[in-house]
Amino acid sequence: MHELLRNHIDGEWSEATSRKTVDNVNPADTRQTLGQVVKGGKEEATRAIEAAARAFPGWRRTPAPKRGQILEQAARLMTERKETIARALTAEEGKTLAESRGEVQKAINFLEFAAGEGRRLNGSTVPSELPRTFTYTVRAPLGVVGIVTPWNFPVCIPTWKIAPALVAGNTVIFKPATITPWTASLVTQCFVDAGLPKGVLNLVYGGGSEIGQAIVEHPEVRAISFTGSNEVGSKLYTDASRTLKKVQCEMGGKNPLIVLEDADLELAATATVQGAFGSTGQRCTATSRAIVVASAADRFVEQVVELTKKIRVGNGAHEGVDMGPSVDEGQFQTVLRYHEIGKSEGARCLVGGNRLSDGDLRYGHFSAPTVFDQVGPNSRLAQEEIFGPVLSVIRVKDWAEAIQVANGVAYGLTSSVFTRDVTRVMEYVDEIETGMLHVNSPTVGGEAQLPFGGMKATGVGQREMGQTAVDFYSEWKTVYVDYTGTKRDTKIY
């Protein structure tokens, strides 16, 4: 249970003028309200943006290694608070405690990495074509940046956006998803307690169409980093272009895992089940399509079904639970709707395909891990992002068809191939249209020091994480220093 969660604007934790609040509900047991969160509007968003704009000159002039040290301290605080944050995450989002601990650790890893970037904000020296002229590049921050995040990784996604924004010298307005406010507050507290000057990081709660829209429209906001749905992201991208903002959107996925005839089928089946049902399928990197060559399909499917049946579904806070609930009623209804869509499209439901309501499960948004076989590659089940524990198995005749089906969707976030054939592996790297790809391992995961992001409808803008993270949050100044002290006889074009 938490106290009333408040905005953090200009160094103060404050309530919204509207006095409206929203309940934070536990998706594993909707009888339990965890607490309330304030509901801000345009007024709070504007105050936060103005505070961030005032804080910008001081923060920009703070040496980058010093900015990095504050992130290092935030990493220490998050490490100390890891268990508290993980428990809050499980309570409001529903993932299991083991998954929550993993997510917090991922945020800590990224903070450690980003802290070091304070000492590596390098530009380059470049030879000039003119005599006695020194030419080089330096990174400059953008100004106020808006960060708009989803509920599915409410600790690590905000962290991997806020940390590079800050280390590069920007100030921030952070608008988290409405249904995961507690973790947003705990993450913000780690940064604030680490010693950020007031106004450098501002947290504002409220609906996407109010706070999000205010960020999109405000001329002082120079860039927006967004992770969420295609529907919201594409509108945000269009609207933000009116004030010429830089925009980065990470959106949906429909990630394939390809299994070839020579694959280690046990390994492939285990990876498929982990990727499809880990975090209740609510990962942007979840495996949602298993594309299997016909000769291996029966044996592969049999193992997938066997492993799926062993998954224990329940409240993620309880010992021994492997999979938690859908995050809210809307997401839950989407999952149940896709069960019906799959059945009506003629796919064979081998396991699951129903709601779970035995005992206390009836108070939560629980559905059975579901495997559909014989799914048509162009069916809705195979094309649309479900964001729940539903796996589609698509049978193909050979490698060429496997790649064609894998690429035959709008999205392109991540993928996997299972084979022992090095030629196929290299062809796969050449041909697959995903921003991240895995060989003989699940589609999920992403390490702090490596770029993260997708192709096609999944993403626009520069990659997050890794050394590429600061590219989005900075721009280049190109410097020409003439030390001849004389008039040039060279023509300047």
Interacting residues with ligand NAP (CB under 6 A): 148-153, 175-178, 207-209, 212-213, 216, 227-229, 232, 235-236, 250-253, 284, 385, 387, 413, 454, 458
Rounded to 5°, the CA angle 399-403-408 comes to 145
Catalytic residue flag (residue 217): no
CB atoms under 10 Å from CB of 431, counted, come to: 13
State how far the Cα of 352 lies from the Cα of 233, in Å rounded to an integer. Answer: 32
State how far the Cα of 233 lies from the Cα of 250, in Å rounded to an integer. Answer: 8
Q: Tokens 């796919």 correspond to what residue?
A: 347
Residue of 44, 99, 117, 250 marked catalytic? 250
Three-state DSSP at 100 gives helix
Task: Give the nearest distance from C-beta 460 to ligand NAP in angstroms.
Answer: 11
Three-state DSSP at 112 gives helix
Task: Give the nearest distance from C-beta 75 to ligand NAP in angstroms.
Answer: 22
Task: Give the nearest distance from C-beta 211 to ligand NAP in angstroms.
Answer: 7
Catalytic residue flag (residue 250): yes
Contact in structure between 276 and 286 (CB atoms under 8 Å): yes
Q: Give how far Cα 79 sits from Cα of 65, 111, 154, 406, Å.
A: 21, 10, 16, 39
Task: Give the nearest distance from C-beta 213 to ligand NAP in angstroms.
Answer: 5
Nearest Cα neighbor of 163 from 491, 417, 480, 466 is 466
200 vs 215, beta carbon nearer ligand NAP:
215
State how far the Cα of 312 lies from the Cα of 322, in Å rounded to an integer. Answer: 5
State how far the Cα of 386 lies from the Cα of 287, in Å rounded to an integer. Answer: 11
State how far the Cα of 472 lies from the Cα of 53, in Å rounded to an integer. Answer: 19
Task: Give the nearest distance from C-beta 87 to ligand NAP in angstroms.
Answer: 21
Q: Give how far Cα 197 sits from Cα of 26, 54, 58, 225, 364, Å.
A: 34, 11, 9, 22, 41
Nearest Cα neighbor of 474 from 200, 262, 165 is 165
237 vs 428, beta carbon nearer ligand NAP:
237
Residue of 284, 302, 345, 427 marked catalytic? 284
267 vs 336, beta carbon nearer ligand NAP:
336
Task: Give the nearest distance from C-beta 66 to ligand NAP in angstroms.
Answer: 30
190 vs 236, beta carbon nearer ligand NAP:
236
Three-state DSSP at 263 gives coil
Nearest Cα neighbor of 258 from 266, 268, 244, 249 is 268
State how far the Cα of 104 lies from the Cα of 113, in Å rounded to an integer. Answer: 14
191 vs 387, beta carbon nearer ligand NAP:
387
Task: Give the nearest distance from C-beta 327 to ligand NAP in angstroms.
Answer: 8
68 vs 435, beta carbon nearer ligand NAP:
435
82 vs 235, beta carbon nearer ligand NAP:
235
**Residues designated catalytic:** 250, 284
